[in-house]
Structure 1
Amino acid sequence: MSARDNILRRLRAAPQGQTPLPPDVGAFHAALAAAAPVGTRASRIELFCEKMTFWHGEVVRVTRNNWPQKLRELCAARGIRSLLYGAQGEHARALEAAGIDGLKPYDRPVDEWKKELFEDTDAGLTSTRGGIAETGTLIIWPDAAEPRLLSLVPPIHFALLDGDRLYDTLFQAISEQQWSDGMPTNALLVSGPSKTADIQVTLAYGAHGPKELIVLLLVNEEEQA
């Protein structure tokens, strides 16, 4: 009898235990939530801003009426010559009406304009599905209107986040948005600009993606300060 056969024989002869029960994830998070202070919109906004700043991201509070103008000002201040956006995205019309110089629609397969996309694009704007206050994280679901490269290739990533879609935790976001009903091929959780410590364990930013992340946080007029 070979060593392999001997091992398999012993495994088959071993006493059969009970199948372990799966962990009750819902109950675990319910207990955590019950022990934590009740989260409010104001506390979520403050914590998200604090955590995003920790990760070297920038948060700019804007309103639903002025965010395109604020984005135009940010682009002008940074000398951005081209801003990539999803021409079929939910915010495309407002963006196009803002008079931002150098708007560039993402409207072709990557193979048709790879050089321009990778070498002549200064910034990109994406929408978000929400944010996680606990970790200062954006939830981004790329699709045909806003492909993955829109947030990955340009050196500067602008992300539009609705303050109404801020959640205390990732579990709350997953539950309330019902992710189990269907997810995209590539769901993203983004905390700050891209970073890596692969080389000599030294943290470097912008190695595999944007060097800057600027979150345009949609808030009410009284929450801008």
Structure 2
Amino acid sequence: MSKDSILTAIRRGLKRGKLPDDQAAMLRDRMQQHPRHLIPARSRLPHAGQVDLFVRNVEKEFGTVARVADAGAVPAAVADYLAAQNLPPRLAMAPHPDLRALPWASRPLLEIREGRAEATDAVSVQHGFAGIAETGTLMLPSAPERPVTLNLLADTEIVVLRASCIVGAYEEAWDRLRAELDGMPRNVMLVTGPSRSADIEQTLELGAHGPRRLHVVVIEDTDRAA
């Protein structure tokens, strides 16, 4: 179904025709201006403080974090995490250039398959586009090099994120997305901790709609004094 046919069906349901030109122009202007909302004071920190806040909020939301000194330490951090969780050393990994460039050969016991996740995958490794400090949220836009299924199907998701990609507030993450990508992606997932639900008798259940575990490997690629 095309976009025009979808919009036509919505208008038909609302019993409304196309918007008048002045209202359509007003909406186009608003979309171009990207009005900003209030930015919480808790996120207005020096960058090192934003990274620390991001880590605390991920852990507060039942996720775990490993901080490594450089990209070369990522494979060891991933292997150590899998061993600590008694998970198999098999990964479905996003075919992102940053992930491909990591020295995975230093951990030859890891079995890595690139591409979309399958229902049988226990562990996925995703490339983190941005981290949002105010809530400990990961921004994961869809792209051929970032398959969305890696965020949904595996029981354990590992996200590799550079500290330089952590921002204070949501508005800053959206600014970065607009500046770095050619147009908006088809899908942008905002992930705060592992999937969970307390719908049934208010009992918290992890892994209700997606990964049961979320582990973030943060590459310390910024000056801690910044």
TM-score normalised per structure 2? 0.73
Pair 1:93–1:195, CA change in 2 (3 A): same
Q: Is the 8 A contact 1:58 1:215 kept in 2?
A: yes
Shift of 1:68: 1.5
Pair 1:173–1:143, CA change in 2 (3 A): same
The answer for the alignment partner of 1:196 in structure 2 is 197
Q: Is the 8 A contact 2:128 2:138 kept in 1?
A: yes
Shift of 1:102: 4.4
Pair 1:37–1:99, CA change in 2 (3 A): closer
Q: How does 1:213-224 map to 2 (within 5 A)?
A: 213-220=214-221
Q: How does 1:96-135 map to 2 (within 5 A)?
A: 96-107=104-115, 117-119=118-120, 121-135=121-135
Shift of 1:143: 1.9
The answer for the alignment partner of 2:168 in structure 1 is 168
The answer for the alignment partner of 1:145 in structure 2 is 145
Pair 1:105–1:87, CA change in 2 (3 A): farther
Pair 1:95–1:37, CA change in 2 (3 A): closer
Deviations 1:180-223 (A, max 9, x none): 95222111100100011222333211011111100001115986
Pair 1:209–1:37, CA change in 2 (3 A): closer
Which of residues 59, 62, 76 in structure 2 aligns to 1:56?
Answer: 62
Pair 1:222–1:185, CA change in 2 (3 A): closer
Distance 1:55 1:210 in 2: 13
The answer for the alignment partner of 2:53 in structure 1 is 47
The answer for the alignment partner of 2:93 in structure 1 is 85
The answer for the alignment partner of 2:76 in structure 1 is 69
Name stretches of at least 5 consecutive residues in structure 2 with no aligned partner: 1-22
TM-score normalised per structure 1? 0.73
Q: Is the 8 A contact 1:127 1:161 kept in 2?
A: yes
Q: Percent identity?
A: 25
The answer for the alignment partner of 1:7 in structure 2 is none
Bigger radius of gyration among the two: 1
The two structures, once aligned, show a CA RMSD in angstroms of: 2.9
Give the total of aligned pairs: 193
181-190 or 130-139: which moved more?
Answer: 181-190
Distance 1:176 1:107 in 2: 25
Shift of 1:89: 4.5
Q: How does 1:6-25 map to 2 (within 5 A)?
A: none
Deviations 1:69-93 (A, max 9, x none): 2212222232322211124543124
Name stretches of at least 5 consecutive residues in structure 1 with no aligned partner: 1-18, 111-116
Distance 2:199 2:104 in 1: 40
The answer for the alignment partner of 1:94 in structure 2 is 102
Matched residue SS, 1:46: helix
